């Protein structure tokens, strides 16, 4: 329900989450989305790849969109250009996730306000891998 870009507000989101859907996960190992997904898997999160161009990524079933995911998602982590964010946030609200995370360089204020009005925490322009490494693994 807050726009959370302060570390003290982000930490409980990372601690309480178990399932993270990564929208825009790339099959290319050198892409940020791929390295972030691998890091989060090693950190113990269940990762759900979301990319309509693939059936599986990182050995996991891949879904075409958030609405196709059959389990509860805690965090929707977005690796798509800012102008492509609105329909993703719309779906995130529909599935009732706890938080939406827009990676570094991704900002969409209108979508963030929409999510907040629907009770979803929003983090924008931050890297979940960096924040997790700083907040969780160092404690």
Q: Would residue 2 count as lying in a domain? A: no
Domain of 54, in residue numbers? 7-135
Q: Would residue 1 count as lying in a domain? A: no
Q: What token pair was written down for 100?
A: 């939406």
Contact between 72 and 98 (Cβ < 8 Å) = no
CATH number, position 56: 3.40.50.720
Cα(95)–Cα(46) distance, rounded to whole angstroms? 17
pLDDT for 5 equals 57
Number of domains in the chain: 1
pLDDT for 2 equals 42
The three-state DSSP-derived secondary structure of 32-57 is HHHHHHHHHHHCCCEEEEECCCCCEE
Q: pLDDT tens digits for the chain (139 residues)? A: 344 556 778 999 999 999 999 999 999 999 999 999 999 999 999 999 999 999 999 999 999 999 999 999 999 999 999 999 999 999 999 999 999 999 999 999 999 999 999 999 999 999 999 999 998 875 4
pLDDT for 60 equals 98
Q: Would residue 88 count as lying in a domain? A: yes
Cα(81)–Cα(106) distance, rounded to whole angstroms? 6
pLDDT for 7 equals 75
φ, ψ at 47 (rounded to 5°): -105, 135
């Amino acid at each position: 329900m807050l726009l959370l870009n302060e570390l003290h507000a982000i930490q409980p989101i990372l601690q309480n989450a178990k399932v993270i859907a990564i929208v825009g996960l790339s099959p290319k190992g050198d892409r940020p989305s791929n390295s972030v997904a691998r890091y989060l898997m090693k950190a113990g999160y269940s990762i759900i790849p979301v990319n309509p161009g693939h059936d599986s990524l990182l050995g996991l079933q891949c879904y075409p969109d958030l609405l196709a995911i059959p389990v509860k998602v805690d965090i929707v982590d977005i690796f798509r250009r800012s102008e492509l964010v609105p329909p993703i946030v719309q779906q995130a609200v529909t599935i009732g996730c706890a938080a939406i995370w827009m990676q570094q360089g991704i900002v969409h204020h209108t979508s963030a306000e929409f999510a907040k009005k629907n009770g979803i925490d929003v983090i924008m322009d931050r890297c979940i891998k960096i924040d997790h490494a700083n907040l969780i693994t160092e404690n």
